[in-house]
Structure 1
Amino acid sequence: MLRLRSCVLSHLLSSPTTSPILSLHRLLSASAAAAPAVSLNPSSFAVEEYLVATCGLTRAQALKASAKLSHLKSPANPDAVLAFLAGLGLSGADVAALVAKDPRFLCAGVERTLAPVVAGLTGLGLSPCDISRLVSLAPNEFRHRSVVSKLDYLLPLFGSFGNLLRPLKHGTSIIGSDLERVVKPNVKLVAECGLGACDIAKLFIRDPWMLSAKPGRLLAMVACAEGIGVPRGSGMFRQALHAVACLSSAEKIAAKVEQLKKALRWSDADVGIAVCKWPTVLWWSTDVLQHKSEFLISKVGLEPAHIAHRPVMLGLSLEGRLKPRYYVMRFLQENGLLNHGRDYYNMVVASDKVFVNKFICPHKQAAPHLAQDYAAACKGEVPTRFRFT
């Protein structure tokens, strides 16, 4: 009988229908028609064998999962769950991964829990494909009917189902957090810091743990962000929260500040200005920042304080932007095609399209090879015409 059931379920998993209930009915009908006289002996149900033969788990996975299913005395409910999953469109491999991840999913009630959850999520606008992805990523949460009310709140918060999936793919169970005691207070706190809906979504997509953190911990992160000189309501406050989250403690932040002072030749005041304007400077590699700073100081001729007031330059690619545009600036200056007072900063922060239109295209006749040389420089080459003494 186990082999028969395995064959029937395997067929369902390899050829899923669009209706979980229809799949379930087909399973029961096929089983009854094929073996009407067989009576299962509950005491003979071998969970481990079922997980291997019917669910597709490896022997090692089945041994581990069976410990959580020792109370099962019959395959009736697992059969119903597998048929339901097939109806959602999950493949055999998907089901095996889900059961290995959350063996207790096989104990969920189809009519009592799973079907109402699917109906509720459909009512929120999720497609069958969305629902199947959700159950694969968060099976434990999916087998609780409260997941519907949680997604009803989280979907508008994240802006789209795709945005909500991004942290789930990395194993962050944001939909497993208590909505009233954790999630909503955290959202309220960051909103009180001046973050709008778009910034809130970006913050929690990038740092989803903040959404499920204890409110006291998030409050400490807010205080830390203010402590580095970025006030609430600042347009940089989201980036400041992310920066302090990456460093995780006041001690690490203080150590980072000292590294920046040494590597970039900055004073305390310079660091304060740079962090307030671009908090991301705190979590960038000090070595990478130093290489860029050395180029900007020794080659371009900028003062450390000048860089501190325009720290976003440090976030630009050294080889792909800072150097090639410096070469173009020097070439134009050396050939009398550019005023020596032209601000290098404005040249490097311009989009590629704007830069080309403003500094390359107007000189096609006077410097016909400029576009070609600039393209080569962006690839790491230094054309002969860009070699200055």
Structure 2
Amino acid sequence: MSCGLSPESALSVSKKVQLKNPTKPDSVLNFFKNHGFSQTQIRKIVERMPKLLLCKAEKTLLPKIQFFYSRGIPSSDLSVVLSSNPSVLGSNIDNCIIPNFNSFKDFTRCDDSEVFLAYKDCSNILTCNFQSIVAPNVAVLREHGVPDPNIMTELVRNPIKFTLNHDKFRRTVEEVDKLGFNPFKYNFLGALQVLLQTSKSTWERKLNVFKEWGWSDEDFVIAFEKFPNCMMYSEHKISKAMNFFVNTMDWKSSFVAHRPIVLSYSLGKRVIPRYSVLQVLLSKGFIKKPVNDSFLICSEKEFLARFVTPYGDLHLLKLYKEKMSLEN
């Protein structure tokens, strides 16, 4: 019984639920189709939650869809979010979805659409008890002096961190505090995000990569305080970037540590194309050797205006685009 699914999907679903007749499954599939879900989106939902095929669509699914409609969530957003994270469709509307939706909205004072988008990244926002999971972790941040506006912004943008084990969350907040981060600055929460997501072994491996490229302990502290996300990149990306900055661009390792934001830039789409343009200008004597990172930090529009457009006869725009296509 394929229920309109591909043979592969039907086989996968059949291993998880027993479909004795097509009546309920067909009504569920038609329900999603009638509410604007594409065949691909329906397949994703069924593969993730095959038990939905056994429910009564009008009784189980319709109230939830109607609730989100009542909160101004358009069907286009509804289909995208629910197909990527359908767990809320298996939760109770009255005892779980509505109270958690309202709690999150009241707590953060954000729009209904922002609540729904937060759920997209973290199903616990609507499927688990908000007051017992999220509120205690928020309280820890308040205890350490993190301003409410910063907490609420982060809760909407990155809700998953607030649903982690409370003891681990508290220990990590204390660790960020001991590292000397100012709770009034937003990078306190940035450092918290990194430490929560990075295991001790991964942390040590990445730290060793930086040390292999010449960073001292002091260099690392400076870089991490300025840009905590420098520890979110893979060891390969870190090493490849440091290699280009140090060996090709002839920057000192400590120079990168004081400007760690450059590690976030794509070598292929930003660093190499821009550096290639500057090399031509240097060879022609139009500029002196750059000693800072301004040509990397400036916007695309500003870079073109400063280093490409004034030298039209050098065909720099063609070179710039060619380098970007080669490195992608």
Question: TM-score per shorter chain, which class?
Answer: 0.7 to 0.9
**Which whole-Å CA distance do the structure 2 matches of 1:274 and 1:226 have between them?**
17
Counterpart residue number, 2:152: 197
Choose which of 45, 69, 72 in structure 2 pairs with 1:125. 72
Deviations 1:286-331 (A, max 9, x none): 2322232232223322221111100111222223332332333333
Q: Is the 8 A contact 2:36 2:75 kept in 1?
A: no
Is 1:103 aligned to residue 51 of structure 2? Answer: yes
Cα deviations by residue, 1:208-260 (Å, 9 ceiling, x for unpaired): 2x2322322222232333455533233323332232233134x5434432332
Aligned length: 311
Q: Which of 339, 363, 371 does residue 311 from structure 2 map onto?
A: 363
TM-score by length of 2: 0.74
The residue type equivalent to 2:157 in the other structure is: K
Which residue is equivalent to 2:99? 149
Residue 247 of structure 2 corresponds to: 298
Amino acid at match of 1:360: V
Unaligned runs of 5+ residues in structure 1 are 1-51, 70-74, 382-389
2:265 & 2:52 partners in 1: Cα distance? 49
Q: Residues 221 and 241 of structure 1 are in contact (CA less than 8 Å); yes or no, is this contact kept in structure 2?
A: yes
Q: 1:163 aligns with which of 117, 135, 144?
A: 117
Post-superposition shift, 1:99? Answer: 9.3
Alpha-carbon deviations, 1:34-86, whole Å to 9, x = none? xxxxxxxxxxxxxxxxxx5989895774574359x9xxxxx99x69x859946
Tell me the distance in 2 between the aligned counterparts of 1:100 and 1:325: 44
Residues 128, 158 of structure 1: CA spacing in aligned structure 2 closer, same or farther, 3 A cutoff? closer
Q: Aligned in 2, Cα 1:275/1:157: closer, same or farther, shift over 3 Å?
A: farther
Identity value in percent: 18
Tell me the equivalent position of 1:186.
Answer: 137
Q: Residue 183 of structure 2 aligns to a residue in which SS?
A: coil
Q: Name the Cα RMSD after superposition.
A: 4.1
2:137/2:162 contact within 8 Å kept = yes
1:302–1:88 CA distance, 2 compared to 1 (3 A):
same
The 8 Å contact of residues 88 and 128 in structure 1, kept in 2 or not, is answered as: no
Q: Deviation of residue 92 (structure 1)?
A: 11
Q: Give 1:216's aligned residue.
A: 167
| Secondary structure of 1:126 counterpart | coil
Residue identity in the other structure for 1:331: V
8 Å contact from structure 1 (residues 117, 145) kept in 2: no
- List alignment gaps of at least 5 residues for structure 2: none
Provide, for residues 120-157 of structure 1, a one-character-per-residue CA deviation record: whole Å limited to 9, x for no partner: 44443234566666766122115554311212233537
Give the drift of 1:347: 0.7
- CA shift, 1:105, in A, is 7.9
Q: Which has the larger radius of gyration?
A: 1
Q: How far has the Cα of 1:187 moved from its partner?
A: 3.8
Partner SS, residue 185 of structure 2: coil
> Does 1:236 find its partner at 2:187?
yes
Taking structure 1 as reference, are residues 273 and 200 closer, same or farther at Cα in structure 2, changes over 3 Å only? Answer: same
Structure-2 separation of matches of 1:370 and 1:149: 58
Counterpart of 1:352 in structure 2 is 300
Structure 2 letter corresponding to 1:362: P
Any conservation in 1 of the 2:173–2:192 contact (CA below 8 Å)?
yes
Name which of 209, 215, 234 aligns with 1:259: 209
Is 1:89 aligned with 2:35? yes
Cα distance, 1:189–1:123 mapped onto 2, change above 3 Å: farther
